[in-house]
Structure 1
């Protein structure tokens, strides 16, 4: 008799536990809950990306200062004046009379044109 009572109680407890666990899982899988979880993840990812961008910017400023010191470059006298960026390669202007990539000559064999 004691055995039957024990197993009946154990089975009932397992059933209650399983039912509660399934109900909890079903609540987590509702559309509203999934939308809230996705929004939380998106906000968390946004914060991580912002922190990463700030770290990168800080590293860039630090490295630029190191390179400026090593190369003997000085900061502008007036901090309100814009800093002119120096590029390693200047963009070349197309020669007069030459066709740039924007104005290609007419090609009668071009099948992509509307006829």
Structure 2
């Protein structure tokens, strides 16, 4: 449960932080958007340290699939664009990969 929460917090924080840069550069928002954006990126990096695995690379690899799924939720909830069937299929495939990467291993 701690791992799932860490992944979701990390994804939301990373997306929000990166979106702040998108808003500044692509949408012409104030550079002040970068202040909460940078804070979000710090939260993102810290959140991944709470993933229950002994290897950082494995946590980052599995996180990639969660990031993709949460990005599509962001697309829908924040940007108002509903993911299509290809988005959903791709996210499902990535989440299957997360399950494989995070599966328990023999010692």
Q: Do they superpose with TM above 0.5?
A: no
TM-score, with length taken from structure 1: 0.24
Higher helix share: 2
Structure of higher RCO (CA pairs closer than 8 Å, 6+ residues apart): 2
TM-score, with length taken from structure 2: 0.25
Structure number with bigger Rg: 1
